Amino acid sequence: MTATTFDFAPLLPSGLPPAAARWTGLAKYSFVGGNNDPEQLPLTGLIDAVNAVMRREGRTLATYGLQSGPQGYLALRKFLTAKLKRDADISCSAEDILIVSGSLQALDLVNATLLARGDTVIIERDTYQGALNRLARLGINTVGIPLDRDGMRMDALADALADLKRRGITPKYIYTIPTVQNPTGTIMPETRRLELLRLAEQYGVPVFEDDCYADLAWDGKRPPAIYAMSKTANVIHIGSFSKSIAPALRVGFIVAPWAALSRILPMKTDAGSGALEQMVLAEYCVSHFETHVPALRRGLRAKLDTLMEALNEHFGTAAEFEEPKGGIFLWVKLPDHVDTMKLYQAALAAGVSINPGPEWSTDKAYAGSRLRLCFASPTQQQIREGIATLAEVCRNEFGVPARSSNKELRAEAAPR
């Protein structure tokens, strides 16, 4: 008798995509994902924190929420209260904070609270792939706003809001990554943040501020968070420890006025995010966060320099980019005829993984020749070798790079 396989297809909701493929491991030269530098992971400090907090409070693991309630471990929320005031000028209490399982859960919770199929949101034209994918699956209409060196352009935002109002549409929120924007690495200045708030208040639209990369600004300085600048409590703010400590810990947070947080909290039906991770982070961060992060930034900055040097060496003027103001990624423009979706496949076959630009933009045509390169995880030697391999693939598949490097062009232009 021949066994048959049950067919789940008729039971699935329309439009549910399957996983692209089973996991086969990272590429030899991996420039994808928000991974950290494994050598800069504060392993010894985290081990010490595990031992200390488990000996002191380990028995609270017997209680959902560690006896801190549904919003997360109280010691971690108290640490965040002090950190947010110091770094982002946010005045809040521990009761204004909800601990979540990474910023992706924060996105899901806010979306579940505010959005319904057919709604419209405003978002930066080039933005986080995870945010774009979620909105597409929910059937949300997105209006992409162009960016410049200072982030989201306020003239374009004003035009978009006015156009939507003429059509009788009120966006559910304006989503922005204002501090070390993903993927462009820009930082929105304070004056522009004020203009964003003015427009949001004028049109009655809340702001959804994703601040996940803010700790990685190169000079350690940043404008006040948009949340801190709001006079009308119309901002939801999210952040994460994934970039400053470790992504696999899966700890993020939401800061919101109670009018919003009281609606978000019931959506979190997982009985609380990982408790041990919260305990360890609180124990470690209280004593070590302020010394760890500057050292992390210095290491990341050195890797960015290596990446830019390798691109100049192997691509020359064929690779255009603006130096980011922090973070772990570089947004690169290749010649117009390069299709980075096709480049992704060819590069992967050669052992190099990249993020093709169209997956990170609301304008697929605009981003067609762009790619995002994450530089935190590979070593400096792997960065050099990986970019050399990528350049060879580009040469074979698309006839690039150009012969002259940026350095050579500058030398030719210099007085003789």
Q: What is the pLDDT of residue 402?
A: 60
**CATH of the domain spanning 43-288, picked from 3.40.640.10, 1.20.1630.10, 3.30.70.890, 3.90.180.10:** 3.40.640.10
Name the phi and psi angles at 408, rounded to 5.
-65, -40
Please state the pTM of the whole predicted model. 0.93
Nearest 5°: CA angle at 299, between 297 and 300? 65
How do strand 355-356 and strand 370-374 relate by DSSP bridges? antiparallel
Q: What is the pLDDT of residue 17?
A: 77
Residue 369 structure tokens? 């020749």
3-state secondary structure of 273: coil
- What are residue 320's DSSP bridge partners? 333
User: Hey, where are the domains in the chain?
Assistant: 26-40+292-413, 43-288
Q: Which pLDDT tens digit goes with each residue over 344-388?
A: 999 999 999 999 999 999 999 999 999 999 999 999 999 999 999
Question: Hey, do 26-40+292-413 and 43-288 end up sharing a CATH topology, with the first three levels equal?
Answer: no
Q: What is 26-40+292-413's CATH number?
A: 3.90.1150.10
Low-confidence ranges of the chain (pLDDT < 70): 1-2, 402-416
How far is it, in rounded angstroms, from Cα 71 to Cα 80?
13
How far is it, in rounded angstroms, from Cα 129 to Cα 20?
15
Q: What is the pLDDT of residue 2?
A: 63
